[in-house]
Amino acid sequence: MPLLRLAYATQFLIALIAVFVLWSQVGGQSHLDFMAWQLKLVLGGGAAFSVVKATAAAVSGERAWNGKTLRWLGILLVLLVGCGLASYYVHLYVEPDEDSQQNDSAMHQPEIPRPVLPLRRNAQIPTVGATMRRPSGPCLGPGRPCPGGPHRRSPVDG
């Protein structure tokens, strides 16, 4: 009898691994990542336990397919459907949207604004390593009118 208990304990551990591998492959690993650990414990542990109980019922009876075996396989089926429904629930209601992930990352890593330099016609864009000097002209000083008239404002004025 102690050898049979060891075999059932080993089967439980193997069934536990098999249930979670199956669940992550069918339901999606990302859904499992957002699911509460209590739900995973109850559904995954219950499914592995029902596999062991179905095996024990098959071994203890005269025939392998008896009433107890079918009952535990039915419980296993209900638990596996529960795993699928839990994954579906997490997919619909718990998993964050892509927009909120982008907003969260924007909150943690603020974007540094680049200065906007006004470009004139025929202006040369400086290359890497070139020395930068402040451009001069009638539109670039604050409060100075642009050549196009008073309705045009300088980019520096805002």
- 109-120 pLDDT, tens digit each: 656 666 666 656
Report if residue 137 sits inside a domain. no
Report if residue 108 sits inside a domain. no
- Note the pLDDT of residue 1: 73
Cα–Cα distance between 15 and 67 in angstroms, integer?
Answer: 22
Residue 136 has pLDDT above 70, yes or no: no
Report if residue 87 sits inside a domain. yes
Report if residue 43 sits inside a domain. yes
φ/ψ of residue 156, rounded to 5: -75, -30
Report if residue 79 sits inside a domain. yes
Domain housing 80: 2-97
Cα–Cα distance between 38 and 14 in angstroms, integer?
Answer: 20
For residue 127, what pLDDT band results from cuts at 50, 70 and 90?
A: low
Report if residue 141 sits inside a domain. no
φ/ψ of residue 67, rounded to 5: -65, -40
Q: Residues near 117 by Cβ (< 8 Å), separated by ≥ 6?
A: 135
- 6-17 pLDDT, tens digit each: 999 999 999 999
Report if residue 73 sits inside a domain. yes
Closest C-alpha among 52, 97, 95 to residue 75: 52
Report if residue 157 sits inside a domain. no
Encode 6-42: b = buried (16+ Cβ within 10 Å), e = exposed: eeeeebbeebbeebbeebeeebeeebbeebeeeebee
CA dihedral 54, 56, 58, 59 (to 10 degrees): 170
Answer for the pair 38, 60: CB distance below 8 angstroms, yes or no.
no
φ/ψ of residue 149, rounded to 5: 125, 175
Q: Could you give the number of structural domains in the chain?
A: 1
pTM equals: 0.59
